[in-house]
Amino acid sequence: MRTMARVGVLVLVVAFFAGVWDTRHGQERRPGSPAPFRTEPVERSRLTRPAPELVSVQAVEREGYDRVLFTFQGAMPGYQVRYVPEVADQGGRPLPLRGKAFLAVTFDPARAHDPGGEPTVSTATLTLGSPVLRQVRFGGDFEGQVTFGLGLAGRDGFRVSELRGPTRVAVDVR
């Protein structure tokens, strides 16, 4: 009986460290399946050089959530996605956004300009007719950081996914 208990504990420990156990809901998650929706900050550090270049930003409605898709040329950037009371641009000024809740999205290292200094993303603001995602606004590109603000109807769960071929970071809001 003690051996069975030890094996059960060992399985739980391995599943936890392998990232297939969702401790918030106590549910098993298959490797490669989407992360659960959450409200806590999500952060991934990368020490990529040269900094990946942001080449497009798109927002689409999906069944059950809205997705903002950031496409990069080069390696996967580091990122931080978190709820904030107000999103600031890189000069520290409030970034006006539609909505009642706000997600700050920061990529580091990353750039939104080509080697000649020309912007690589033509859309500074995306305003949607979605009941959840109200607006996506560019907050700046300075010293290896690219920032965006997402204006939402209210505070709810979000998740971040890394996609390959091409390199993309998807922020899904429920």
If one compares 170 and 34, the residue with the highest pLDDT of the two is: 170
Measured distance CA(149)–CA(73) in Å, rounded = 21
Specify whether the CB–CB gap between 112 and 106 falls below 8 A: no
What is the total count of domains within the chain?
A: 2
- Contact yes or no for 162/57 (Cβ under 8 A): no
Q: How many CA atoms lie within 13 A of 56 on its CB side?
A: 7
The answer on pLDDT for 170 being more than 80 is yes
Same-domain pairing of 6 and 39: no
Q: What angle do CA 146, 99, 110 make, to 5 degrees?
A: 5
Domain holding 87, by residue range, is 35-173
Residues 167 and 94 in one domain: yes
> Residue 21: which pLDDT band, with cuts at 50, 70 and 90?
very low
Span of 24-38, 57-71, 73-87 with lowest mean pLDDT:
24-38
Assess whether 59 and 97 both reside in one domain.
Answer: yes
> Is 79 in the same domain as 117?
yes
Shared-domain flag, residues 156 and 131: yes
Residues 25 and 83 in one domain: no
Q: Are residues 26 and 70 in the same domain?
A: no
CATH code of the domain containing 71: 2.60.40.3500
- Range 105-126 average pLDDT: 89
Distance CA 165, CA 144 (A): 23
Question: Confidence band (pLDDT; 50, 70, 90) for 83?
Answer: very high
Beta 158-163 vs 167-173: how paired, if at all?
antiparallel
Residues 121-147 have pLDDT tens digits of 876 788 888 999 999 999 999 999 999
Q: Are residues 104 and 50 part of one domain?
A: yes
